[in-house]
Structure 1
């Protein structure tokens, strides 16, 4: 099969490309950075260097493809995240319509079933909505959980304050995921025969925030590490002290609030997947290495 992978050689794109090439598929990887071409080609894939904002580039790259893996790369500089997700998703729709691609696997997020109140995840909801307008295309939305590597963002807080603090935590349930587990599911879905549209959750581990703190704490020699629930105001004030832009703060506070309320996981609880292979205990070793060397 001829398969196009967006997302360059990121946490998902690299293992996904490696797996697809290993299976014997012809893989084209889109990257906005010319310096990535050598690394892409070293994996046995074809490099397509250009921007997802460029419709003509997407049409050229998608032409002749049997399947495409789409994602909207994180861009916190975009003040209006929904508009950003809408724009990139609309570009995908136009390119797919003009090239006749029949199989689409899209990286989405848990909580994408909600049309408000989810901060950064709201963009994933509208991306799904826009992509679902495609006809004669078999679509699978991969609703991924909380990425393990997001926990790296708490290292400074742990070192400085001695705890993890957000407007969710304690007994709040978290569904976490390793990018390699997402890549494995994406590879499986991309080569499936065309069928009806599906939604598939991708999660590696289910734990409470307190359990996450305990596992991470043990790995770094702080077995009493706590994940403290802050008020929205406390979380906002802390992020303001770090100098984060207002739109970033608003999105994170809203996202955390939806996790704390349980709304983010309502649909997930009705469609639980088989958990992936990489557990938090595995990731904790990587976390500890970064923590100790940071």
Structure 2
């Protein structure tokens, strides 16, 4: 039995669709079952509620051997630790109580780097991983860089102003990954009943690109001139506070972005296998995902 959490998000919805192929029984924990596709609801066992609720977890984890773990964002949390480890603690108890054997978690790059202990959201994510792995369960942490899909938040600005924004220097090349590749790696692990031990699985995608290189690709694919503009970290902090983040979560976001400026995502050496596991190039993603979204914006 596989349990999928956060099954209506960008990653979880793809994971659920891929593992609910009939090869193994699947359960989903979801606040609003109506958000699940009707055909999937007929093929899985649905447990309504939050995967931070001990009672929901007790029902969903009973008899389950494998769990896909992804926490929802908490914009108003009192601290990043509360948003991540605090949310996960009931699941940790349920893993122990019900004998779950394997957990696949969506995590972040940065473990072992100089700034990992001062990286806000990333630091909190890695601490949550340690909490889960401390149960003794077989554990795979999908260590992700920045998502390509984050650009979808800027589709209107890209279309209207021909500009997109980030905090990295324009010529700094870094890895990115798309959510569909992350979901594909997660699904392969969830279906495989043989792996053991604890490992990180870096999802680096096939290439490192600078923001200026991304702008060139976007311009070519979209057929408009797109420029990149770097913004300072304090300006990002003002923006996320204005959007409703608590002071603690805004500071955590700024700490993470400052760590990325200091090469947080460079702790893993790229190998050809990374392109095999996450093959989608930035150009392909722009053609298949970004362009339709910009056209619709």
TM over 0.5: yes
Q: 1:155 to 1:245 in 2, by over 3 A?
A: farther
Length, aligned pairs only = 290
Q: Which has the higher contact order (CA 8 A, sep 6+)?
A: 2
User: Match of 2:7?
Assistant: 8
For the aligned residue pairs, the C-alpha RMSD in angstroms reads: 2.6
8 Å Cα contact 2:73-2:83 kept in structure 1: no
Q: Name which of structure 1's ranges 241-250 and 96-105 shifts more when overlaid on structure 2.
A: 241-250
TM-score by length of 1: 0.87
8 Å Cα contact 1:40-1:46 kept in structure 2: no
User: Match of 2:17?
Assistant: 18
Give deviations 1:67-88, integer Å, cap 9, x for gaps: 1111112222324222120112
Q: 1:204 to 1:68 in 2, by over 3 A?
A: same
User: Match of 1:291?
Assistant: 294
Q: Name which of structure 1's ranges 68-77 and 98-107 shifts more when overlaid on structure 2.
A: 68-77
Partners of 2:58 and 2:83 in 1: CA distance:
19
Deviation at 1:241, TM superposition (A): 6.7
SS in 2 for 1:116: helix
SS in 2 for 1:73: coil
User: Match of 1:222?
Assistant: 224
Partners of 2:282 and 2:27 in 1: CA distance:
32
Q: 1:72 to 1:238 in 2, by over 3 A?
A: closer
Give deviations 1:144-199, integer Å, cap 9, x for gaps: 22222101223344356543333213122222212221122112222241421111
Q: Which runs of 5+ in 2 are unaligned?
A: none
Q: 1:246 to 1:273 in 2, by over 3 A?
A: farther
Give deviations 1:17-52, integer Å, cap 9, x for gaps: 222222511011111113235637446222111112
User: Match of 1:278?
Assistant: 280
SS in 1 for 2:94: helix
User: Match of 1:149?
Assistant: 149
User: Match of 2:163?
Assistant: 163
8 Å Cα contact 2:52-2:88 kept in structure 1: no
8 Å Cα contact 1:28-1:47 kept in structure 2: yes
Q: Name which of structure 1's ranges 197-206 and 240-249 shifts more when overlaid on structure 2.
A: 240-249
Q: 1:62 to 1:187 in 2, by over 3 A?
A: same
